[in-house]
Structure 1
Amino acid sequence: MSTPATPTTAAPSTPSAPSTPLPTAAHSTTTGIIDDIGYGRQFDDWYHRLFPDDASVAAEVESLVSLHPDPASGTVEFGVGNGRIALPLSRRVGRITGVDSSPEMLELLRRNLTDDTPVEPLHADIRTYTADRTVGLVYAVCATLSMLLTPEEQRQAVQRAADLLTPGGRLVVETHNKPAILTLHEGRARATYFTPYPEPGTGLQSHSLLLPEGSLWHLSHVWYESDGTTRVGTEVSRLTAPDELDAYARDAGLLPERRFGDWPADTSPYGPHSPLAICTYIKP
């Protein structure tokens, strides 16, 4: 989970839908054990508060529509969660296979499905997921790739994504912008910041710790409701620089294409202070 918005204070983020189906569960395969880090058990009942369905979702969906080389060829999301992006995107590009290791988050997604919703929830591990057909777009947003804590695991997931792509297909990865996070800490291991939300009396306080390993980022969040109640959640992610993503992609046979710093992608060039690192790759 990436920080929902750029912190404001710191102490010492159209084509019509085709009818061609994507792989159903019968056509999708996984290998190995599904490793669930427990994210959904912590955040499932207040995830929608952290990541509301607002203008940022519309901007992200519009960008993904424009980045899709061929909607009729199919789409896969790594880390679909509650369908915050997949549900509106599917209305634009058609059927999406949403892969996630969290049963709780997939249950949230299923509750939002109707009989004609072209999203297939699939319980699987993005490091090992395979399918018997290729697609035009694979995307992993909201720092999904950063939830894998070693370069080897991240490389595996990028390889799986590359294997799913048809020639000319595109991989889109959105994660934390490592240089911006390091700048936020101003050379310190710890930082605390508060992100106010539009609804009066609500906001997110985050306690940020850069672990001694240098690339791991520990975040403890306190969510404040307007009625005075709070929720607490903790996550660990790996700060991954765009150059590392490029190296994973090249090793998987993909060509680095473009970088953006936020959504909408076409108006947000990437820079060291960008809130996000959004990287796109093409399969030759």
Structure 2
Amino acid sequence: MSTSTTPTTTGIVDDIGYGRQFDGWYHRLFPDDASVVAEVERLASLHPDPASGTVEFGVGNGRIALPLSRRVGRITGIDSSPEMLEVLRRNLTDDTSVEPVHADIRTYTADRTVGLVYCVCATLSMLLTPEEQRQAVQRAADLLTPGGRLVMETHNKPAILALHEGRSRATYFTPYPEPGTGLQSHSLLLPEGSLWHLSHVWYESDGTTRVGTEVSRLTAPEEMDAYARAAGLEPETRFGDWPTDTEPYAPDSPLAICTYVKPW
């Protein structure tokens, strides 16, 4: 494998504005807790060759890339949000080797291949058409060296549909460990294109609130498999959560995490 890298982008980076809404309180929604430890441990165990390099699609504030870099070395973190990348830069320390790159995961290219590309926290589902999702998976496959692995995680579509119990709308509250905090989510399923609209209200213990909205495309594991095959990757395994003692993937699993290998 080559040892130099020059990340490149094609055209203007198309940003949906996620970072402008959530950069100041993303860490409240997704704290550095035991779930991060489990995800980092699993990703490190899935890396076929840490010395070959790593790319994250949708690096955000570095919640996963920063601790993972302590395990596998340098990570190139791709994101379309300048706001989230600025948070990442502020979080960098002497022992975290993450390179923030402002780029579009549908068009990003580089002059080297790596052993692991991962795309987690439903980043793939932020692309709202099958064609856009297919483009991102092709870009990931192009970045992989033979024997390299792609890991993709998104919401588990059957579990989300079951949560709605046949209705298009649902509202639910998720309490957080810190007393007086929690997230209220108003969920709307749009029949066109499997789109999922979420409006969030975050409650702080001092009574203040934050509001944000997001739209994603519910993406079934079978669709991810089809994208991967079209990009020349071989489906490998599927699991429903990050801890290594998790039961195998099932329709009621909270997540759909799929791994693929590039043939030699």
TM-score under structure 2 normalisation?
0.95
Residues of 1 paired with 2:3 and 2:52: CA distance? 32
Shift of 1:181: 0.3
What CA deviation, in whole Å up to 9, does each residue of 1:39-95 have, x standing for no partner? 000000000000000000000000000000000000000000000000000000000
Equivalence for 2:167:
188
Matched, 1:179 2:158: yes
Q: Tell me if structure 2 keeps the 8 A contact 1:2–1:176.
A: no
Paired with 1:272 and 1:3, the residues of 2 have a C-alpha distance of 41
CA displacement 1:208-232 (0-9 Å, x = unmatched): 0001315000000000000000000
Q: What CA distance in whole angstroms lies between the structure 2 residues aligned with 1:216 and 1:71?
A: 36
Paired residue secondary structure (2:109): strand
Alignment of 1:76 with 2:55, yes or no, is yes
**1: CA distance between counterparts of 2:158 and 2:2?**
14
Q: Distance in 2 between matches of 1:174 and 1:86?
A: 15
Deviation at 1:263, TM superposition (A): 1.0
The 5 Å alignment of 1:95-106 reads 95-106=74-85
Moved more, 157-166 or 209-218: 209-218
Q: 1:51/1:8 Cα in 2 relative to 1: closer, same or farther (>3 Å)?
A: farther
SS of match in other structure, 1:131: coil
**1:63–1:266 contact (8 Å) kept in structure 2:** no
Question: Which string of whole-angstrom CA distances, capped at 9 and with x for unpartnered residues, describes residues 84-119 of structure 1?
Answer: 000000000000000000000000000011345310
Unaligned runs of 5+ in 1: 10-30
Taking only aligned residues, the RMSD between alpha carbons, in angstroms, comes to 7.0
Relative to structure 1, is the Cα distance of residues 8 and 252 closer, same or farther in structure 2, using a 3 angstrom cutoff?
closer
Residues 42 and 233 of structure 1 are in contact (CA less than 8 Å); yes or no, is this contact kept in structure 2? Answer: yes
- Specify whether residues 164 and 7 from structure 1 end up closer, same or farther in structure 2 by C-alpha distance, changes over 3 A only: closer
CA distance in structure 2 between the partners assigned to 1:232 and 1:167 by the alignment = 44
- Equivalent-residue separation in structure 2 for 1:217 and 1:61 (angstroms): 27
Aligned to 1:136: 115
The alignment covers a number of residue pairs equal to 263
Contact 1:2 1:175 in 2 (8 A): no
Q: Which has the higher contact order (CA 8 A, sep 6+)?
A: 1
The question of whether the paired residues in 2 share the 8 Å contact of 1:61 and 1:89 is answered with yes
Contact 1:131–1:164 under 8 Å retained in 2? yes
CA displacement at 1:4 relative to structure 2 = 36
Q: CA deviation at 1:274?
A: 0.4
Please state whether the residue corresponding to 2:137 is helix, strand or coil: helix
Offset from partner CA, 1:126-152 (integer Å, 9 cap, x none): 000000000000000000000000000
Q: After superposition, what is the alpha-carbon deviation per residue over 1:226-275, rounded to whole angstroms, capped at 9, x for unaligned?
A: 00000000000000000000000000000000001011145331000000
C-alpha distance in 1, partners of 2:124/2:227?
Answer: 12
Q: Assess if the C-alpha contact under 8 Å between 2:238 and 2:259 holds in 1.
A: yes
Compared with structure 1, are the counterparts of its residues 104 and 7 closer, same or farther at alpha carbon in structure 2 (3 Å cutoff)? closer
Query: Compared with structure 1, are the counterparts of its residues 58 and 44 closer, same or farther at alpha carbon in structure 2 (3 Å cutoff)?
Result: same
Distance 1:2 1:102, change over 3 A: farther
Q: Distance in 2 between matches of 1:125 and 1:98?
A: 11
Checking the alignment, whether the CA contact within 8 Å between 2:145 and 2:262 is kept in structure 1 is: yes
Cα contact 2:56–2:119 (8 A) shared by 1: yes
